[in-house]
Structures are given as structure tokens and as C-alpha cells.
Structure 1
Amino acid sequence: MNNKTYDLIIVGGGVLGTFHAYHALAKGYSVLMLEKNNAPLGATVRNFGQVVPSGMNLKWQSYGCESLAIYKSIQQRFDISIRQNGTVYIASNEEEAQLLEELYQINEANNYESYLLTKEQCLKKYKGLKESYCNSGLFFPQEVTVEPRVMIGKLHKFMKAHYELNYLPNTTVINTHEVNGAVEVVSSEGTVYKASKVIICSGSDFKTLYPMVYNNSDLQVSKLQMLQTKSQGNYELNGSVLTGLTIRRYESFTQCPSYEEIKSKEDLNSFEKQFGVHILFKQATDGSVIIGDSHEYADAKDIDNLGFDLNMDIDDFMIKEAKKIINLPSYEIQNRWAGFYSQCKTKDIFECQIGDNVHIVTGIGGKGMTGSAGFSKDSINRIMNI
């Protein structure tokens, strides 16, 4: 038995759990965060590495803007790999250009800063962008890129140094039960940790602890494939470059008046629709370029059906499409990987209360890196009855 009783125990050290801990600590609560691996290995480190409120609906754009402010505030105090280099959406034709203009008007009404770019401005700003592809662009200067494989570890270091975060990696939780108004959390080693409240932010831990709730949930898992080129030498790509297929996919564009008509013309049997492919580019700090991504889905209880092998047809298609958009000095690939994230079919995020003091918060989907920091602030207020 660990004799200390914490105000809050968080199970899962990924970005969603970490920002729940961050906001609880900032409000003066004592927090213990338990992570089953030596470091997070899931969606937190296997994503594209961008914070893009521009891609979200109005509710989550608000959370995303709050996240931007939080990331930038932390970056001023401690380097967590945040770079404010903006996001651009590149239209490849008149239909996509129409959607950019409509989203720009929506952003104007909501006071979210963006700028329409002409074809000439895009070609000047983004070296290697092909004239044959580019029609126009929409630029979001406030948005940032992240190095996901290093950010979470640096964020933990910052929180331990500045907020006295208690963090235990390599700790697998196998049971929780409420005793006399508190929650006892039992690890696989038999250690018992106590807290007034517990938040479970890891889908895999949720599956282990409450398998019936997990299997009966409306969670589904998305498998994404991404690639990383070798370093591009002196070539520099400014910020995140999102392209026509992204315009046709991201949630924010569903608010545009022309969206439904434009979508109705698409070939649902095309390769990109079958595998949910849209083409994004982001240059990492080592000079390499990340290219993505694809989406394959299965109900959470059937995650094994997705497999862990990479579909090389998807990778080959993404490279072929990327070459139509930007002339990189090299398309030699040094890394390929798949990421997995859970999301709800019918809700923005999965939230469930077990008993009086155990809360499950997971299934944030592809909104994790962008929305977690802002969403967790509201979530902590609700859970801690603030």
C-alpha cells in the first residue's frame, strides 16, 4: 500500500491524460499519473505532429484555440518542441478553392485568423510546390507544429519540475475499486494507490479494467499510415502543408455551404476513399519530411482485424500523390509506421462514470494533439466539481 492519498490518479500518460494532470496540478490538486510503458507508445507519439484548430468544427476549434495558447505558454517557459510556423491548405481546383473561400468567411465571423493566398503567393511561400497542382491557398498563421515523439517526454519533465507531478512509468493498472469514498488503484505488482478520484485516459487500460463497458461502447479504432523521408538538406518547408484531399476530408469544411454538393460528385470507389487517404506534409526538426496519411476503421472490440502490417499499396499511393504536389529534393523514405487511435461513432469523445469517483475519458480520435489541452481544462472542472 502506498500510504499517500492523492486528490487525483490519472491512468495513461499520453497527451489526453497528461493535460488532465496539467490542469489539475495548476489548480493545486495532488496528482499521480500512471503509465504502463516506459513512455507513451500510442497515438500520442504516432501522429502527424500538428495543432490545427482550422480543421475542426466550431466547438472543437474553440478547444483547439485554447490548446494553442497553452502550448505556446509552456513553450515560453520550457522547450517542448512547439514551432509556430502556420498551416496552409492548398486547393488543387476551383471546387476546393471555393471551399477555402467559404471557410475563410466562416473564420472571419468567428475571429479566427486566416488569410487567402493566390496561386503566386503559394508558389513563392512553399518551395517546390508544383504550379500544375496549386490553385490557391488558405493560411492559418497561429497554428503550430509539434515533434510528437519528443514532446510528451519534455512535457512530463516540465510538469515534474514546475508542478510537482508524481509520475510512475512501467506501472500497469489491473483493478480499481471504491472504498469509503476513495478509490484504490491496484497495479500488476500488487501496489495499491489511493485517490479521491480516478480518470482513465488510455483506451487499452480501459479495455483491461472494464471489458464489458469497452466492448459495448460505440468506440471504433482508426489505423493510419505515415512515412518519413530522409533529411532534405538545405530545403525548408514552412509549416504544415495540407492539400486538396484534406480540404475534402476535414470536419471544418463540412460547415461550408458548397461542401455537400462538392462531396456528392466524388467517386466513392476511388482508392483514396477506400482507405481514407489525404496528403499532408510537415518538415521535422531534423530536415526530414513527414508525409501522410490513411484511415482504416474497425469497431474497438475488433481492433485485431486491422492488423499491424503496413499496406504498401497505401504507401506507394501516398508517395505517388505527394510527388504530384511538391518537388522535394528526395523522396527516399527512411521510416514507415502505423498509428492507432480510438474515436466515438456518435459522440465527440467517450466519457463514462464508473461508480462515484472513477471517470473514463478517452476516444478523442484524431483531435488529440490539437484538442486535448483545451478540452482537458473543461473536463477537469467538471470531474473535480469546480
Structure 2
Amino acid sequence: MTASPKPRKNKLGSLEMKNFDVIVVGAGMLGVAHAWAAAKRGLSVAVIERSRQAHGATVRNFGQVIVTGQPPGMMLSHAQQARELWLELAAKAGFHVRANGALVLARNADEADVLQEFADTRLHQEGYRAQLLSSRELARLYGGRLAHHCAAIQGHDDLQIYSREALPAITRYLAESLGVTFITGTLARAVQGGLVSTTAGDFQGGHVFVCPGHDYLTLMPELFAPMDLEVTRLQMLRAVFESNPIEQLDRPVLTGLSCVHYGAFSDLPSAQVLRDIIQERSPYLLENGIHLLISPTPYGELIIGDSHRYGQDAPPFNDEAVDNAMLELASQALGARLRVVERWQGVYGAHGPAPFSVMPVDEATTVAVMHSGVGMTVGLAIGERTVAGRLG
């Protein structure tokens, strides 16, 4: 496909040229992933976004690229590729990224059993770059502040991005360095055969990638309806140390609660045992989908979460008991008192036929959506592979 010249804007701000090699609908994680993959190939690209700046799942998350948590096979392969793409993109777009891995802490012997089984079976066989730390080895980290845990998996490939700053930086880089045109505050009403009808007029693309997030009604609802998709709503916190801070905390921290959630661990026999134990001792955690994740921000704060409530819609009402449970778990893990400075809801698509779907609609249209909360972990690889497959 031949690259078209960069479109110009007239004094009224309207586009003089409405033809592009590639049009992307949606400026969230998958949208910018497809736009970057296409722009790198020298193609003219337009991104149509209904908001002035995307503010969905991409900026409401932990920014964790949890390679170590992905199940063997396709998802692990995608995560490993996305890791390298993140490092490349961060260097070019100039946003903060931590590349020193993550810790999965075992709070008790039952959680340690899962980490041990993972280390004994799939860690090396499946190509994970990680190691099992004993309680003694763990006690040497952070001045012994995590010594009350039994063991840990130290993942070496995991990254952390401060997503609320990364997405605007990526948008600027694509626009200023690669000539991507962002058409914001504009709703795409219909897409067919390369024609995109919007509230700002019609645009023609050689190929259109539709990345609508968890909006299954605006565009091609007939495609999504048979899939019976849901969304999950997350309760999220940003906190600061109120006492006894871990000044040098420099990587994401998870606990064994995540082992019943992430596919690298969740199908292991010991993880099934752990799930039964949690159900017996702390059913509230499973009922609310709580599994502790802690991400330190570049400013010494902590992003803490999360919970999961599934349904057709995401109710706007938070449960204070859920926030308190997550805050207590984080305080126990870090051995410190924490104070909440911000609360919000995350939301993403869930319960699809796979962790994500890439669906060709016609020769000029492809739809890409996530059905899980790992868009940051695999999104760049999905964009790269999809664009390569459709455009060469």
C-alpha cells in the first residue's frame, strides 16, 4: 500500500484530505497500537476518538505489563513481544517505564505451594524469565520489609508504565513524529468497506481498524450480540505511605491471591487448592474478585487494587468495604499504614470467547477488542501482528 501525504488543516480546522491508508477508530491501548504499527510502515494514518483524550481502561489501570502472569502459549508470546515494543516506544515517545520486573509474594504456605509448583514445572519449560526466592532471599530485599512473607516469584520481564502519562505521550509522539492525524471529539457512527461515517463527516481508509474498547453498541452491534459479552468494573485506589514507608520500592508487587487469577498459575493443582482455601476462609475476596496488586508511581505513590464486578453495565456506585479490604491487604503486604488520596473505577470488556478477539468484518475492516484486563500487557503485540497480517 502506497503512503499518502500527510493531511493538512485549513483555517477552520477541517481536513482538506479525508483519505488515508489506515483509519483507526478508538485512541485507547489497542487503537494507538494499531496506529503505531501502521505509521511505522510509512502509511498515512488517522485516529478517530469520541473523547478529547481516551480515558477508558488504558488510563485507569496499574500500568503493569505482567509477562510472568500470562499462560503459556499465545498469551505469553504476545506479552514477550509487547515488552520489547514497550521499551522501544518508551524510548521514542519519552514516557516513564520501569523494566526491573515484579514480585509475586506468598503470604502463607498455601500460596508458597503455588509458587513452588510453578517453579518446578512451567517456569523453565515454558520460557518464563523468573526465579523463585526463598524467605531468606526475600528478606534481603528492601531492608527486610517483606520478610514476613514465605517466598516470592521474581519476574524479570515484567514492566510498569504510568499509564495516565504514557498515553498522552504516545499520542504526541504519533502525531508529531510519525504524522498521525488525531480527529478527537468525534463519534464514528458507521464503518463499512473502508468508509467511516462520523459526526465530523465521512472519511475513507484503505483499511479500517475498529478498536471500540467495551462499547459493543455504537458500531456493528450485530457482530457483538451473539458473543454475549460483559464488562467488569474495578475499584481502584491511589495511596501514600502514612508511616513506615518503603522508600526504595521500585517494582510492582502482587500476592498469592493473584495466583488464582493469572493464567500462568491458575490452572495448577496447587492453585485450585488455594482457591478452595480462600473460599473457605475469606469468601468475600472471591465474591468481589479481589486480588491485590500494588504499583508504585514515579512520584512515590502507590496504585492499589483491584476488585471485579461483572455484568452488562458498570454501576457507578463503589462499595467502601471493598476499598477497605484492598487497603488492609496492601498495608499487610507492605507492613505500613497507608492513606488514600484518590479513588476511581476501572472498566474493561470481559467474558469473551478468548482473552481478545481480532475479527475481519470485510476486506477493508477489522475489529479488535479485549475480553480481559491485560490490554497493557499484550496490546502492542496485537496491534503489530494484526497490522502485519492485514497489510503486510
Q: Same fold (TM over 0.5)?
A: yes
Identity of aligned residues (%): 24
The Cα shift of 1:142 comes to 2.6
In structure 2, give the amino acid aligned to 1:281.
I
Equivalent residue number for residue 101 of structure 1: 116
Distance 1:352 1:141 in 2: 33
Distance 1:234 1:50 in 2: 19
Equivalent residue number for residue 352 of structure 1: 359
Q: Deviations over 1:306-361 (max 9, x none)?
A: 31121111001111222222123x41110011100003432221333333322211
Distance 1:371 1:34 in 2: 22
1:53 maps to 2:60: no
Structure 1 regions of 5+ residues with no counterpart? Answer: none
Equivalent residue number for residue 310 of structure 1: 318
Equivalent residue number for residue 205 of structure 2: 195
Matches within 5 A, 1:6-25: 6-25=20-39
Matches within 5 A, 1:76-115: 76-105=91-120, 106-115=122-131
Contact between 1:2 and 1:194, CA under 8 Å: does it hold in 2?
Answer: no
User: What SS does the corresponding residue of 1:115 show, helix, strand or coil?
Assistant: strand
Match of 2:185 among 143, 148, 170: 170
Contact between 1:275 and 1:296, CA under 8 Å: does it hold in 2?
Answer: yes
The Cα shift of 1:231 comes to 6.1
1:293 maps to 2:306: yes
1:43 maps to 2:57: yes
Structure 2 regions of 5+ residues with no counterpart? Answer: 1-14
User: What SS does the corresponding residue of 1:207 show, helix, strand or coil?
Assistant: coil
Equivalent residue number for residue 234 of structure 2: 224
The Cα shift of 1:206 comes to 4.6
Q: Deviations over 1:206-263 (max 9, x none)?
A: 5212233333323210111111113667723120110121122211103535333443
Distance 2:213 2:126 in 1: 33
Distance 1:128 1:164 in 2: 49
User: What SS does the corresponding residue of 1:198 show, helix, strand or coil?
Assistant: strand
In structure 2, give the amino acid aligned to 1:246.
S
1:151 maps to 2:156: no
Equivalent residue number for residue 381 of structure 1: 388
Distance 1:130 1:144 in 2: 20
Contact between 1:24 and 1:31, CA under 8 Å: does it hold in 2?
Answer: yes
Equivalent residue number for residue 275 of structure 1: 288
The Cα shift of 1:271 comes to 0.4
**Cα RMSD for the two superposed structures:** 2.1
1:127–1:316 Cα change, 3 Å: farther
Aligned residue pairs total 373
The Cα shift of 1:373 comes to 0.8
Equivalent residue number for residue 160 of structure 1: 175
Matches within 5 A, 1:97-136: 97-105=112-120, 106-126=122-142, 129=145, 131-132=147-148, 134-136=149-151
In structure 1, give the amino acid aligned to 2:91.
Q
